[in-house]
Structure 1
Amino acid sequence: MNKPRPVYLDLQQIQFPATAIASILHRVSGVVLFGAIAILLWLFATSLESADGFAQVSALMNGFLAKLVLWAILTAFAYHLCSGIRHLLMDMGHFEGSMESGNRSARVAFAGAAVLSVLAGIWLW
């Protein structure tokens, strides 16, 4: 009854398909966006408090770190959007014929998110 079980699992040798990576990153980007809501709401509320609050947020957003955080939020949003559209298309029956079509659609989502991320970086800086 003793089944041989792996004693040592080398995670660097396991190769996930693009669909698995896309699914994991979609969940991670959702968690990042959920946390980003707090930051964005705080910035929005502070900017609407008064003229001093608006000036404070405006000065904060001119800093490198704030732009980097905002770029990370926009990148997470871009990936979540592209992957979400991919999931909606899969719900309608597309990209389900084979593993290759699923991998191809995941790569398209990666490429779309990369393009949107670069455009967000250009827009911010």
Structure 2
Amino acid sequence: MENTPLSPHLQVYRPQLTSVLSITHRATGVVLSLAGTIIMLYWFVAAALGAEAYTQAQVLLSSLFAKVIMFGWTCAFYYHLLNGIRHLLWDTGWGFDLVTAYRTGYLVISGTVVLSLSTWGIVLYLSGG
């Protein structure tokens, strides 16, 4: 019993792209639900409380810190959307071979970067800064 091999330890385990994307998909679902709901509820409650509270919320939500948070939320949104489409394709039986799984995984990552930067480029252009 002393020479029985142990399961791979986390220090020697090298995560595959597919496992990282799977965990990230679940995490972005949680982030989108919690952060999006909290921000939206804050904004709605501020609007319901009157002009002063709404103005204060608008100032807070247009701060640099809030923009960084919303950029992260945008990245999570696009990642979750694109990876969700990938999962829908898997539901049809397409994309299970290793080469296609990795290609679509990298496509999800690059699509997330392109869409997030494009969205915020447009936002910053239209807002003047």
TMscore range, shorter length: 0.7 to 0.9
Question: How far did residue 121 of structure 1 move?
Answer: 2.9
1:65-90 Cα offsets, whole Å, 9 max, x none, are 01111111111111111111110111
Q: Sequence identity, in percent?
A: 30
Q: Which residue of 2 aligns with 1:70?
A: 70
8 Å Cα contact 1:78/1:116 also seen in 2: yes
Gaps of 5+ in 2: 125-129
TM-score, normalised to structure 1's length? Answer: 0.84
Task: List structure 1 runs of 4+ shifted beyond 6 angstroms.
Answer: none
Partner of 2:32: 33
Task: Compute the RMSD of aligned alpha carbons.
Answer: 2.2
Which residue of structure 2 lines up, in the alignment, with residue 54 of structure 1? 54
**2:91 matched residue in structure 1:** 91
Q: Deviations over 1:93-123 (max 9, x none)?
A: 2102x11111111111111111122123324
Contiguous gaps of at least 5 residues in structure 1 = none
Give the residue type in structure 1 aligned to 2:114: V
TM-score normalised according to structure 2 size: 0.81
The aligned counterpart of 2:127 is none
Q: How many residues align?
A: 123
